């Protein structure tokens, strides 16, 4: 009989998972030696079992971390005779606690996928035609290093752009360090496609440029504003665990309210679903704030002692400024908000009262997908939602919002005094972040338009980046932009839509073949898991981290001195040396965490240094939550009227610096295109292009509507009846930017003025199970970027639907 996880814990002296974690940390309680003994007993048992079989087999268990979604769940990989045969959840990992979703279970299909790129490739013929020749790693690295050297010799290293997708731990910093060492400011994240609005809102209010964590297990009341946390949040497994505990893991069951035009899985499992008019969440949050303030239900200690701008205030010149309280009481009465949102005033008042009187209560800001993207309203919406947490004192409090802490690392070496690189780093970013888009840190989708507008890129590098597919209205714009780029280098493991246009492909290992650290998110307390090879590389691929280090060394000179490590594993060992556990233990257990979360006392030094104001650049780091955003005030107070109009901001005066509702601008005619298009992310396929080429995930892609291996359009039965459509009819979905044909499915849990298209179908490439299957709803969206924040526009496209 195979040993089970329960047997494993018994072998560790009957430890619970919590005790095992404590043991792994060397905390009081269980001895860490018992975990080592248990691991050894586990391996010995498996080896003995295999040896007793008719055909001798060598079996081992290797810990790792999943990368098929952002949860970063811990894995135990079962390897027999050097081949991966099964993945299970690690019982030591605090995110998934021994469970593993179907995406994680499908990992072997990624590893052994027949459509993976098997070695370095060089394009032959025109871009996009799919003609390649295999070349050696020596040739590939020499070609790229020579091109980077030429770029520097020409005096224009800033014409390197490095686009990257999902990166945690050291990989994000490595990409940035590499790009800056060459001499370019253009390390550009895809965050502007999804999570950037939430991060900016947290910065402008709490002073933390990051996604925050939520202590759902201890919350009594949860209001989710479009976060779809059970299927498409940033860390879905973490939310699933919190949801389960709030429901059945404690004597007092908490209440969950979902505010979303689409009910979805999260709304179906909530206590209450509020089908709000799309794009009006800010007004609802401020309407709730009106009720809470009017009823005297605010956390008086917090708003008076640890916030700024709640009340009206005078500046140094004696000028009176409006505070949050005055704005909310004047403009956001329940009756006025009901007209904006379509939510009845009595429901607004009731939910607000329940939220404020059933503490701890928490309001969830959407942290993934495009629900906050489309106009400046997205940023102010996230600010308004987070202001609710401040009103009821749920910032840095049990059952509320937590700051995500990370392991302590030595930091990266200072860049050498390279005059060529120093000049290049001072250039304007090619994505327009900080210039064309004043608040933006990244504007990934804008790179194509900026190249076409005359901002030159000579070398484009891509890591987990497929902009032709994942950007609104992407294929045509990016194909034209690529015509202006001399050299395109992709690290993709598959010939996805963008890699098809590359000149060189340096295929990365899959996550099951490489070393990489993963800083845990969603817990609050710090933790790191170690992704390590569970098998030898299946093909002639290399870890992209190793490739970047070798490229830097081949470029030589100052660039080489910026990379003193022989390989990526050496870099990891150096950066993780202070986490509190040795490398051998880290590789054996696969993780290190430091629970529990230590709440900072209000006004204490940790409160000021780590919780409120840590990342502010212009506003005071004084431990005060900003209802009136001083950071935004410093950035925009001197802008002229014409500039504010260009930025698309409708508010003026003090309202501009406070959470407020900005009506979403729809460029298309509402009479011709009466339905709002919502491109939704499913739990099954997620956002990674490669997931669409995994048969297991295609097989479960649309279980909620009984559709798999294809796309579908979700439509309310009332809207379908008006158009004389029946369930499963073939329909055209048309916007001002294009049209696609798919099957309509009637879904009652959806507002009649909204239709939904699932994401991650409609690929033109990637592989045999992804290609030419379904439609990509992003091709219907407008290509514009939001002028203030640089966010991709996901929520302001209207469509019409008619029988095919």
Residues 743-763 pLDDT 10s: 999 999 999 999 999 888 999
Q: Over 70: is that where the pLDDT of 129 sits?
A: yes
Other beta carbons less than 10 A from residue 195's beta carbon: 21
Report helix, strand and coil shares of the chain as percent, to nearest 5: 35, 15, 45
Predicted confidence (pLDDT) per residue in 56-68, tens digit: 678 889 999 998 8
Q: How far apart are CA 34 and CA 13, in angstroms?
A: 7
Q: Over 60: is that where the pLDDT of 325 sits?
A: yes
Identify the CA nearest to 662 among candidates 337, 380, 384.
380
The C-alpha torsion from 630 through 635 and 636 to 639, rounded to 10°, is: 150
Q: How far is CA 792 from CA 190, 213, 260, 781, 783, in A?
A: 10, 24, 20, 10, 8
Q: Over 90: is that where the pLDDT of 378 sits?
A: no
Predicted confidence (pLDDT) per residue in 537-583, tens digit: 999 999 999 999 999 999 999 999 999 999 999 999 999 998 988 99
With cut-offs at 50, 70 and 90, classify the pLDDT of residue 374.
Answer: low
With cut-offs at 50, 70 and 90, classify the pLDDT of residue 516.
Answer: very high
Q: Over 50: is that where the pLDDT of 694 sits?
A: yes
Instruction: Kindly report the average pLDDT of the chain as a whole number.
Output: 89
Q: Cβ neighbours of residue 483 under 8 Å, at least 6 residues apart?
A: none
Scan for tokens 């597919």, then name that residue.
Answer: 469
* DSSP 8-state class, residue 192: G
With cut-offs at 50, 70 and 90, classify the pLDDT of residue 682.
Answer: confident
Predicted confidence (pLDDT) per residue in 167-197, tens digit: 888 999 999 999 999 999 999 999 998 888 8
Q: How far apart are CA 756 and CA 718, in angstroms?
A: 15
User: Number of H helices and number of E strands within the chain?
Assistant: 29, 29
Q: How far apart are CA 661 and CA 669, in angstroms?
A: 22
- pLDDT (0 to 100) of residue 291: 97
Q: Over 70: is that where the pLDDT of 764 sits?
A: yes
Predicted confidence (pLDDT) per residue in 207-233, tens digit: 999 999 999 999 999 999 988 888 877
- pLDDT (0 to 100) of residue 580: 85
In contact, 505 and 490? CB cutoff 8 Å: yes
% of the chain with per-residue pLDDT over 90: 72
- pLDDT (0 to 100) of residue 228: 83
3-state SS assignment for residue 362: strand
In contact, 689 and 470? CB cutoff 8 Å: yes
**Top-confidence residue, 11 or 590:** 590
* DSSP 8-state class, residue 509: P
In contact, 605 and 552? CB cutoff 8 Å: no
In contact, 68 and 688? CB cutoff 8 Å: yes
Identify the CA nearest to 524 among candidates 648, 694, 403.
403
- Token readout for 271 is 């206590």
Q: How far apart are CA 241 and CA 358, in angstroms?
A: 21
**Top-confidence residue, 250 or 613:** 613
Give the least confident one: 310-314, 474-478, 621-625: 474-478
* Mean pLDDT computed over 377-394: 94
Q: How far apart are CA 35 and CA 63, in angstroms?
A: 14
In contact, 20 and 9? CB cutoff 8 Å: yes
State how beta strands 516-519 and 74-80 pair.
unpaired
Q: Over 70: is that where the pLDDT of 21 sits?
A: no
- pLDDT (0 to 100) of residue 15: 34
- Token readout for 152 is 């520097």
Predicted confidence (pLDDT) per residue in 266-287, tens digit: 899 999 999 999 889 999 999 9
Q: Over 60: is that where the pLDDT of 248 sits?
A: yes
- pLDDT (0 to 100) of residue 372: 63
Q: How far apart are CA 30 and CA 47, in angstroms?
A: 26
**Top-confidence residue, 42 or 479:** 479
- Classify the C-alpha dihedral 747-763-794-267 as positive or negative: positive
Q: How far is CA 466 from CA 112, 490, 498, 527, 544, in A?
A: 21, 9, 5, 29, 16
Other beta carbons less than 10 A from residue 653's beta carbon: 9
* Mean pLDDT computed over 386-412: 95
Give the least confident one: 30-39, 311-320, 636-645, 793-802: 30-39
With cut-offs at 50, 70 and 90, classify the pLDDT of residue 474.
Answer: confident
Q: Cβ neighbours of residue 350 under 8 Å, at least 6 residues apart?
A: none
- Token readout for 298 is 């605010």
- pLDDT (0 to 100) of residue 242: 87
Identify the CA nearest to 186 among candidates 496, 469, 531, 465.
465
- pLDDT (0 to 100) of residue 687: 77
Q: How far apart are CA 341 and CA 781, in angstroms?
A: 23
- pLDDT (0 to 100) of residue 213: 94
In contact, 120 and 136? CB cutoff 8 Å: yes
- pLDDT (0 to 100) of residue 36: 52
- pLDDT (0 to 100) of residue 684: 81
């Amino acid at each position: 009989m195979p040993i089970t996880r329960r047997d494993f814990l018994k072998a560790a002296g009957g430890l619970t998972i919590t005790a095992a974690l404590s043991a792994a940390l060397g905390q009081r309680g269980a001895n860490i030696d018992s975990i080592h003994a248990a691991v050894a007993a586990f391996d010995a048992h498996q080896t003995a079992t295999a040896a007793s079989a008719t055909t001798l087999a060598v079996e081992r268990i290797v810990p790792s971390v999943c990368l098929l979604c952002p949860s970063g769940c811990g894995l135990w990989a079962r390897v027999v005779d050097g081949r991966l045969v099964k993945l299970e959840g690690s019982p030591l990992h605090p995110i998934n606690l021994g469970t593993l979703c179907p995406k994680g279970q499908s990992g072997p299909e990624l590893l052994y996928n027949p459509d993976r790129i098997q070695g370095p490739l060089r394009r032959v013929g025109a871009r996009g035609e799919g003609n390649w020749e295999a070349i050696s790693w020596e040739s590939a690295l020499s070609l790229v290093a020579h091109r980077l050297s030429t770029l520097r010799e020409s005096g224009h290293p800033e014409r390197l752009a490095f686009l990257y997708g999902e990166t945690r731990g050291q990989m994000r910093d490595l990409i940035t360090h590499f790009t800056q060492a060459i001499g370019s400011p253009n390390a550009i994240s895809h965050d502007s496609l999804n999570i950037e609005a939430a991060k900016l809102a947290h910065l402008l209010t709490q002073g933390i440029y990051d996604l925050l964590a939520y202590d759902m297990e201890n919350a009594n009341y949860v209001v989710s504003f479009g976060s779809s946390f059970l299927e498409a949040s940033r860390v879905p497994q973490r939310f699933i665990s919190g949801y389960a505990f709030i429901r059945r893991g404690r004597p007092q069951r908490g209440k969950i309210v979902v505010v979303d035009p689409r009910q979805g899985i999260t709304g179906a499992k909530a206590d209450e679903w509020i089908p709000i008019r799309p794009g009006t969440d800010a007004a609802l949050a401020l309407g709730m704030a009106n009720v809470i303030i009017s009823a005297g239900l605010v956390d008086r200690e917090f708003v008076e002692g640890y916030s700024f701008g709640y009340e009206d205030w005078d500046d140094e010149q004696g000028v009176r400024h409006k505070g949050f309280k005055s704005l909310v009481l004047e403009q956001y009465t329940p009756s006025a908000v009901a007209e904006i949102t379509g939510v009845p005033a009595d429901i607004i008042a009731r939910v607000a009262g329940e939220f404020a009187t059933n503490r701890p209560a928490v309001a969830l800001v959407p942290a993934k997908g495009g629900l906050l993207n489309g106009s400046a309203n997205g940023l102010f919406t996230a600010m308004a939602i987070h202001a609710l947490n401040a009103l009821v004192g749920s910032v840095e409090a049990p059952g509320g919002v937590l700051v995500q802490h990370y392991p302590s690392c030595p930091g990266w070496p200072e860049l050498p005094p390279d005059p060529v690189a120093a000049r290049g780093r001072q250039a304007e970013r090619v994505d327009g972040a900080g210039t064309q888009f004043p608040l933006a840190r990244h504007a990934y989708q804008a790179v194509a338009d900026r190249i076409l507008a005359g901002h030159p890129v000579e070398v484009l590098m891509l890591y987990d980046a497929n902009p032709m597919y994942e950007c609104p209205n992407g294929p045509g714009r990016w194909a034209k932009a690529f015509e202006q780029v001399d050299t395109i280098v992709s690290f993709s493991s598959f010939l996805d839509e963008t890699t098809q246009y590359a000149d060189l492909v340096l295929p990365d290992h899959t996550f099951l073949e490489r070393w990489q650290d993963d800083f845990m998110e969603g817990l609050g307390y710090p933790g790191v898991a170690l992704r390590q090879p569970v098998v030898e590389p299946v093909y002639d691929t290399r870890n992209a981290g190793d490739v970047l280090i070798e490229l830097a060394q081949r470029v030589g000179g100052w660039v080489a001195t910026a990379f003193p490590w022989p390989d990526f594993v050496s870099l990891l060992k150096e950066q993780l040396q202070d986490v509190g556990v040795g490398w051998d233990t880290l590789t054996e257990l696969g993780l290190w965490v430091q629970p529990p979360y230590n709440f900072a006392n209000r006004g204490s030094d940790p409160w000021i240094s780590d919780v409120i104001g840590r990342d502010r650049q212009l506003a005071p780091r004084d431990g005060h939550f900003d209802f009136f955003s001083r950071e935004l005030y410093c950035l925009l107070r001197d802008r002229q009227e014409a500039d504010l109009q260009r930025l698309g901001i409708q508010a003026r005066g003090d309202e501009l610096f406070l959470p407020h509702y900005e009506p979403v601008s729809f460029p298309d005619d509402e009479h011709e295109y009466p339905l709002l298009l919502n491109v939704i992310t499913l739990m099954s396929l997620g956002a990674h292009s490669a997931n669409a080429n995994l048969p297991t995930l295609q097989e479960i892609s649309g279980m909620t509507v009984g559709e798999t291996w294809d796309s579908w359009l979700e439509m309310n039965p009332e809207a379908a009846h008006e158009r004389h459509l029946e369930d499963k009819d073939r329909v055209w979905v048309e916007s001002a930017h294009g049209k696609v044909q798919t099957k309509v499915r009637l879904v009652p849990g959806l507002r009649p003025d909204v239709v939904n298209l699932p994401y991650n179908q409609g690929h033109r490439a990637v592989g045999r199970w992804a290609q030419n299957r379904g439609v990509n709803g992003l091709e219907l969206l407008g290509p514009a970027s939001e002028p203030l924040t640089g966010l991709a526009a996901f929520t302001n496209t209207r469509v019409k639907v008619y029988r095919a």
